[in-house]
């Protein structure tokens, strides 16, 4: 599927390779902007063609508007669910998406989501990984073959003098406990957490900060939400909303070691994920900022095509000192369709809400 697009009019920072790691060297006094795109959900079949075009067009408009230095896609580019898309082919959506990204000309990378490679898909995750690695502007790496998952890798964001500003950690949050969706979502495995600890100790020797990008949020994200509702001093609300039905969080049934290790090491200041398409909440918990990226999805959730407030992207702005800020980039704003109200804290119901929340369907 070809989407009309033009190369973005911007002089991008050209990443380079150093010891097998992609490196960006930011200009002094100039912020480095990362645009998080998540849950594009391209079906790639005869049943999803119109919605696939809407999704790809949304990606084009958001990136063209934001002109980021790097796009990070946190999973679920492909949605090979035949009853919805009419296809088992998960490579076709990957090729459509990569073609658009290469036309736009922005450096980009991704982590896999649980739907990118269903057990019955036409292509394995390793095959998708090989394809993404071949795209000229894509910084994806398959990572250490001796640990679980596909696509555990880091990107260095350096200052003008070559010192580390931030380590960007990409983690494969895997899919399901077994091959079945009904078994529950998987966790980042222990050997992946050990690899993460190794990367932090190797790159962040002087206490430099890091950010994590993955698809499925760890279980502590839900704990953080309930702690915030209980007005815990361990939490702080920044922006966004919880709009999933019955305040649903698509987290694993069990706890892994990831969040405890994050707290132990003290390097990672922010974690960014997708997976729950209606949630856009950004909050801190025990000193770590936890953020749901705004999703693209026109296909997976029932009647989501007609929803608007949750659709968009998330902009992460990194300063010279390694600190970062997060802002939402709603598609309605990009297209001049934004209406009054926006995302707000609904005090009466003691939860986050939006003007259209009462009308949501799942």
pLDDT(181) > 80: no
238, part of any domain: yes
265 versus 355: which is more confidently predicted? 265
Token match 């649980």: residue? 114
Total domain count, the chain: 1
Q: Is residue 16 part of a domain?
A: no
pLDDT at 177: 86
pLDDT band at 349 (very low <50, low <70, confident <90, very high): very low
Q: At 359, is the pLDDT very low, low, confident or very high (cuts 50, 70, 90)?
A: very low
In a domain, 3, yes or no: no
Rounded to two decimals, the pTM is 0.93
Q: What are phi and psi of 222, to 5 degrees?
A: -70, -40
Residue 22 lies in a domain: no
Rounded to an integer, what is the distance from CA 259 to the centroid of its chain?
17
Q: What is the mean pLDDT of residues 137-162?
A: 97
**In a domain? residue 293:** yes
- If pLDDT is split at 50, 70 and 90, which confidence band does 183 have? confident
Average confidence (pLDDT) over 305-316: 96
Distance, first Cα to last Cα, the chain:
28
pLDDT at res. 339: 62
The answer to whether 97 and 132 have CB atoms below 8 angstroms apart is no
> Could you tell me the CATH number of the domain that includes residue 241?
3.60.21.10
Flag whether 348 is in a domain.
yes
**Tens digit of each residue's pLDDT (9 = 90 or more) over 272-281:** 999 999 999 9
DSSP string for residues in 232-301: -TTEEEEE----SGGG-----SS--SHHHHHHHH--EEEEEE---TT---EEEETTEEEEEPPB--SSSS
Mean pLDDT score across all residues of the chain: 93
Instruction: Specify the pLDDT at position 347.
Output: 34
Q: For 72-86, 180-194, 308-322, 348-362, which range has the lowest pLDDT when averaged over its residues?
A: 348-362
Alpha-carbon distance of 249 to 297, in angstroms, equals: 17
Q: Is residue 21 part of a domain?
A: no
For 237-254, the DSSP string reads EEE----SGGG-----SS
Spatial contact of 184 and 177, defined as CB atoms under 8 Å apart = yes
User: What pLDDT, on a 0 to 100 scale, did the predictor assign at position 337?
Assistant: 83
CB atoms within 10 A of CB 198: 12
Range of the domain at 323: 27-359
Say if 274 falls within a structural domain: yes
């Amino acid at each position: 599927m070809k989407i009309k697009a033009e190369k973005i009019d911007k002089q991008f920072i050209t990443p380079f390779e150093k010891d097998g790691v992609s490196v960006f060297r930011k200009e002094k006094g100039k912020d480095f902007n990362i645009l998080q795109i998540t849950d594009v959900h391209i079906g790639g079949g005869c049943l999803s063609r119109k919605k696939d075009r809407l999704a790809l067009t949304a990606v084009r408009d958001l990136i063209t508007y934001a002109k980021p230095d790097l796009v990070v896609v946190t999973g679920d580019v492909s949605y090979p669910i035949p009853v919805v898309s009419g296809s088992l082919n998960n490579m076709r959506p990957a090729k459509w998406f990569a073609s658009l990204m290469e036309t736009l000309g922005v450096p980009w990378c991704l982590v896999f989501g649980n739907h990118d490679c269903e057990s019955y898909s036409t292509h394995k995750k390793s095959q998708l990984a090989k394809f993404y690695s071949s795209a000229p502007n894509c910084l994806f790496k398959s990572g250490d073959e001796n640990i679980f998952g596909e696509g555990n890798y880091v990107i260095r964001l350096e200052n003008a003098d070559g010192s580390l500003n931030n380590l960007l950690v990409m983690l494969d949050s895997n899919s399901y406990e077994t091959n079945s969706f009904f078994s529950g979502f998987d966790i980042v495995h222990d050997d992946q957490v050990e690899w993460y600890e190794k990367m932090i100790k190797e790159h962040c020797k002087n206490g430099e900060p890091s950010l994590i990008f993955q698809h499925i949020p760890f279980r502590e994200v839900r704990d953080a939400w309930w702690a915030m509702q209980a007005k815990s001093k361990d939490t702080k609300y920044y922006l966004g909303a919880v709009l999933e039905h019955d305040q649903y969080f698509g987290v694993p049934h069990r706890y892994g070691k990831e969040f405890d290790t994050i707290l132990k090491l003290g390097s990672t200041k922010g974690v960014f994920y997708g997976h729950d398409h209606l949630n856009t909440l950004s909050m801190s918990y025990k000193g770590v900022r936890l953020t749901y990226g705004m999703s693209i999805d026109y296909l997976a959730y029932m009647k989501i095509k007609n929803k608007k407030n949750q659709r968009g992207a998330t902009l992460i702005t990194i300063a010279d000192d390694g600190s970062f800020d997060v802002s939402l980039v709603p598609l309605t704003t990009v297209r001049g369709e934004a209406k009054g109200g926006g995302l707000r804290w609904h005090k009466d119901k003691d939860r986050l809400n939006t003007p259209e929340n009462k009308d949501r369907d799942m």
